[in-house]
Structure 1
Amino acid sequence: MFVSAFLAATILPLSSELVFTTLALNGSSALVLLVVASTGNVLGSIVNYVLGFRFGQLAATKLLRVSHATFMWAEVMYKKWGKWSLLLAWVPIIGDPLTLLAGTLRTRFWFFLLIVGISKTARYAALLFFITH
């Protein structure tokens, strides 16, 4: 579960929900599953943050193949909506670039970790709730 959640949070186009759901339905401890999945997913987001912090726009344009215009638009939107947009870090497609952009724009790491941790854990908790009820 950890590896699946970790890789799903990086810029790789992967998803961890199938592994999470399968394990939840086959008797894995809900609490252990929640902690392992959330930890892996947050650590994967930290990889994106570090890539953005170290390589900035180059990481977005070369690794994610984002056009310069799209990157500039994303930067304007991030600055407009602020660091609170990281609450959407769990959302497929936009979450990974958001975490990379947070590093690029030098969002304070403690804030990044707190908000992304809440966001990712809440998503897995909601998924667990819907699977088991």
Structure 2
Amino acid sequence: MLDWIASLLQLLALPEVGLSTVFVVAFISATLLPMGSEPAVFALIKLSPELFWPVIFVATAGNTLGGAVSWAMGLGAHTLVDKARHTHTPHPRALRWLERFGPKACLLSWLPVVGDPLCAVAGWLKFPFWPCVAYMAVGKLARYLTMTGALLWVFPGGLPF
């Protein structure tokens, strides 16, 4: 069983597959799985600085697509709960403040810990899909630019290990 994991990790090893690895890692990290994509993004940019913008855009695309999948899972969960209860599920008071912001709340999808579940909550609340995806993309692009820029500024020669 562990052989397939080792094979997968070997296949996705940087820099042989570079951009596709960044896409896969960014996609997976945007789902509800606890994983960060910044190390892969930073590593590829340090190995190939000329790929800065392609890496940023591929990571943003992968992370946004993962957020869209989380949105769809939230919508699906809400639909299943409504069918099981044979009625419309009322939203808890904690979610009502999100309803005031609507899809714009997805700008916060870049936040650690709460960002990925926020995409699922947007689906649960049945926010419109495409505006949510657009706001996710803007937030995630800003995160990758900020995080990568900060890491390049703090560690211009690479990480100290």
Task: Tell me, yes or no, if structure 1 residue 16 matches structure 2 residue 37.
Answer: yes
Q: Gaps (5+ residues) in structure 2?
A: 1-21, 82-90, 154-161
**Aligned twin of 1:127:** 147
Q: Secondary structure at the match of 2:92?
A: helix
Letter in 2 for 1:30: F
- Match status 1:115 vs 2:135: yes
Q: CA deviation at 1:132?
A: 3.2
Name structure 1 gaps, 5 residues minimum. 60-70
1:36-80 per-residue CA deviation (whole Å, 9 max, x = no partner) reads: 101100010011000011112879xxxxxxxxxxx8244123124
Using the TM superposition, give the Cα deviation of residue 26 of structure 1 relative to its aligned residue in structure 2, in angstroms: 1.4
**What aligned pairs does 1:2-81 form with structure 2 within 5 A after superposition?**
2-28=23-49, 29-56=51-78, 72-81=92-101
| Alpha-carbon shift at residue 83 of structure 1 (Å) | 3.0
Whether contact under 8 Å (1:6, 1:42) holds in the other structure is: yes
Aligned-partner Cα distance in 2 for 1:112–1:37: 18
Structure 1 segments, 4+ long, off by >4 Å, are: none
Preserved CA contact (<8 Å) 1:10 1:47:
yes
Paired residues, what number? 122
| Identity over aligned pairs, percent | 32
Aligned-partner residue type, residue 90 of structure 1: W
Q: Secondary structure at the match of 2:110?
A: coil
- Of structures 1 and 2, the larger Rg is shown by 2
Cα deviation, residue 14, structure 1: 0.8
8 Å Cα contact 1:38/1:124 also seen in 2:
yes
Q: Please give the root-mean-square deviation of Cα atoms over the aligned residues, in Å.
A: 2.0
Higher RCO, Cα 8 Å, sep 6+: 1
**Superposition TM-score, scaled by structure 2 size:** 0.69
CA distance in 2, matches of 1:108, 1:57: 15
Give the secondary-structure state (helix, strand or coil) at the position aligned to 1:83. Answer: helix
What secondary structure, in the 3-state scheme, does the structure 2 residue paired with 1:106 have? Answer: coil
| 1:70-108: CA deviation from partner (whole Å, max 9, x where unpaired) | x82441231244432211100011001110011111111
Q: Secondary structure at the match of 2:148?
A: helix
